[in-house]
Amino acid sequence: MIFIPTLSLHDTRAVAQILRDVPAAQACQWVLLYRRNLYEGRDPGYRAQMTDRLEWRKVFAAFMEDTNVRFLTDTEQLTDQYQTLGVVPFETAPIPMNPDFQAGRREAPGQFQIVYAGDARAEKGYPLFPDLAEQFALEGNTRNVRFRLQSNFAFREVRDDPATVLARNHLETMDSPAVELIKVPIPSEEYLNLVNSASVMPLLYHRDNYYARSSGALAEALASGIPVVVTSASWLDLQ
């Protein structure tokens, strides 16, 4: 079995070519998981975007004769989106969870800690944190409240996104012991400790981008018994 946990259009085209050109690949069971939204926004706005998704239909059509390929998403909303293409069947898989994210393993921090976990991205609400941190400072809560914000840029398009870059620069200029920025990727154990240190986790994700997409951070917070604040009318809100 070959499992690919997230694919783009380009990746899918490559897998189709491998299955066509490499005979040994056809003896494998392929499991392909799609975690990105196919359409922007929500139904009934999908129909107007279907002509822009013809390349997806062409690529999936290359798999119609392959009985050893399964297509998955990790939310019912994403499955509904990909099913509109009407080419190959999709199933909804559960979200995998590290068993170390357990409420019983979590120790309550001595200070009220607001944690942002994951790479810094505008669609995840990162640019909202400077105003939030300043508001707490204005109210004189910096002794009691601490922000711990994972602030690394995982993708080139994020490094080029003005809102995210300006937000991190703004947080750096605050030079406050109440704001901790983690600007590099961290190992799994450190990430686990970061999540478990949270008193609350704001997940202020873009409601249209995350109408259908899942959030691993939400699943981790809920498994660890951490209160969350989420954007209304999003997949996170539905959970």
State the pLDDT at residue 76. Answer: 95
DSSP annotation of 103? G
CA–CA separation, 206 vs 124, rounded Å? 6
Q: Which residue has the tokens 């939030």?
A: 132
State the pLDDT at residue 158. Answer: 61
Contacts of 81 (CB under 8 A, 6+ apart): 37, 38, 39, 46, 73, 212
DSSP annotation of 173? H
Contact 85, 61 (CB under 8 A): no
State the pLDDT at residue 105. Answer: 66
Amino acid making up residue 185: P
State the pLDDT at residue 157. Answer: 64
State the pLDDT at residue 110. Answer: 73
Report, as ranges of residue numbers, the positions in the chain whose pLDDT lies below 70. 104-109, 140-142, 156-159
State the pLDDT at residue 187. Answer: 94
E-strand stretches of 89-203: 90-92, 112-116, 145-150, 179-182, 201-203
Residue 230's DSSP bridge partners are 203
